[in-house]
Structure 1
Amino acid sequence: MLDDLYIGLGANLPHPRFGPPKSTLEHVLTLFPDHGLRVLARSPWYESAPIPASDQPWYVNGVVRAATALSPSDVLSELQAIEAELGRQRVERNEARSVDLDIIAFGNMILNGPRPPIVPHPRMADRGFVLLPLADLAPDWRHPATGERISSLVARLPRDQVTRPLQETPGSGA
Structure 2
Amino acid sequence: MIGERAYIGIGSNLGDRIKHCQETIGAISDIAGVTAIRTSSLYETAPIPPASGGWFVNGVVSVQTQIKPGALLLELLRIERSMGRAAERARGEDRSIDLDLLFVGSQIVEQPDFVLPHPRLHQRRFVLVPLCELDPDFRHPVFGVTMRQLLDRLDDPSLVRLVVPAVRSVESEEDS
Give the one of 140, 147, 152 matched to 2:149.
152
Tell me the CA shift for residue 31 of structure 1: 1.4
Contact 2:52 2:94 in 1 (8 A): no
AA in 1 matched with 2:13: N
Contact 1:3 1:65 in 2 (8 A): no
AA in 2 matched with 1:100: D
Pair 54,31 (structure 1): closer, same or farther in 2 beyond 3 Å: closer
- Between the aligned partners of 2:143 and 2:124, the Cα distance in structure 1 is 16
Contact 1:39 1:64 in 2 (8 A): no
Q: Does 1:76 align with 2:73?
A: yes
Tell me the CA shift for residue 142 of structure 1: 1.1
Alignment match, 1:131: 128
Q: Deviation string for 1:59-108 (max 9, x for gaps)?
A: 00000110112110000000000001111013322101000011111101
Q: Which runs of 5+ in 1 are unaligned?
A: 15-19, 169-174
- Between the aligned partners of 2:5 and 2:94, the Cα distance in structure 1 is 29
Alignment match, 1:51: 48
Pair 159,69 (structure 1): closer, same or farther in 2 beyond 3 Å: closer
Structure 1 length normalisation: TM-score?
Answer: 0.86
- Between the aligned partners of 1:96 and 1:159, the Cα distance in structure 2 is 21
How many residues align? The count is 162
Task: Please give the residue correspondences for 1:3-22 in structure 2 after superposition, counting only pairs within 5 Å.
Answer: 3-14=4-15, 20-22=16-18
Give the one of 103, 106, 109 matched to 1:105.
103
Tell me the CA shift for residue 56 of structure 1: 3.4
Pair 126,9 (structure 1): closer, same or farther in 2 beyond 3 Å: same
Structure 1 stretch displaced more, 146-155 or 28-37? 28-37
- Between the aligned partners of 1:6 and 1:104, the Cα distance in structure 2 is 5
AA in 2 matched with 1:120: P
Contact 2:35 2:64 in 1 (8 A): yes
Q: Which runs of 5+ in 2 are unaligned?
A: 166-176
Alignment match, 2:30: 34
Q: Deviation string for 1:132-152 (max 9, x for gaps)?
A: 000000021111111112122
1:112 aligned counterpart, secondary structure: strand
Contact 1:32 1:39 in 2 (8 A): no
Tell me the CA shift for residue 33 of structure 1: 3.4
Contact 1:61 1:129 in 2 (8 A): yes
Identity of paired residues, percent?
A: 37
